[in-house]
Amino acid sequence: MANRYGKVETMVDTSQDEIEDLASTALAGRRPREHGPYRVLFGNEELAYRPAIIADPVPTGQQLLDAAGAHPASEHSVFQLLSNGLLEGLRPDETTDLRERGIEKFLIFRNDRSLRFELDGRQFEWGGTFISGRTLKSLAGVDPQTYGVWLEVRGADDRPIGDSEMVDLAARGVEHFFTGIVQTTEG
């Protein structure tokens, strides 16, 4: 079956081994088993995720790109979503241990570089040129219905960013965003 990148996904023979779903393992608060295969989640710049199977418990960035169908690998970057909500880029020859608790989600970008921004005082690396207000809220871990997100503007009013609004991260300097409650029930 072809994935969203047009690549036919490699199937792992799971007839003798049950697949360890790493997202379920993380939710249960337990450490994954020592051997694969493992079900991981690959997301895009909109944080839309889809599952894939990885046999190796310590895959390289290249193996992850292959499993995601991101070809050619030189035109893609892979980021690991850490349990604290931050992102960490993986080089093609760098490994990650899927047996560590909270290592179950990866973001794949069609880009040859990463851009930095700050959100609620935390530094993030991002593989895309643009990011939406809704994605910023997701990364901040806030309720998107009651929280808003703003771009700090020096010497002027901070600019609110709508959920579907795309902010260009390629502008000069590091963008600084913050979230806050926009709706109150106080009377």
Which CATH number is 88's domain given? 3.10.20.90
The boundaries of the domain holding residue 175 are 115-181
88-112: burial string, b at 16+ Cβ within 10 Å, e else: ebbebeebbebbeebbbbbbbbeee
Shared-domain flag, residues 169 and 91: no
pTM listed for this prediction = 0.74
- Last residue of one domain, picked from the residues 109, 144, 173: 109
The count of structural domains within the chain is 2
- 11 membership: H or E segment, kind and range: none
User: In 69-183, which ranges are continuous DSSP H helix?
Assistant: 133-140
In a domain, residue 1? The reply is no
Position 128, amino acid: G
Q: 36 burial class (0-12, 13-18, 19+ CB within 10 angstroms)?
A: buried
Q: Amino acid identity, residue 157?
A: D
Q: pLDDT tens digits, residue range 152-186?
A: 999 999 999 999 999 999 988 899 999 999 966 66
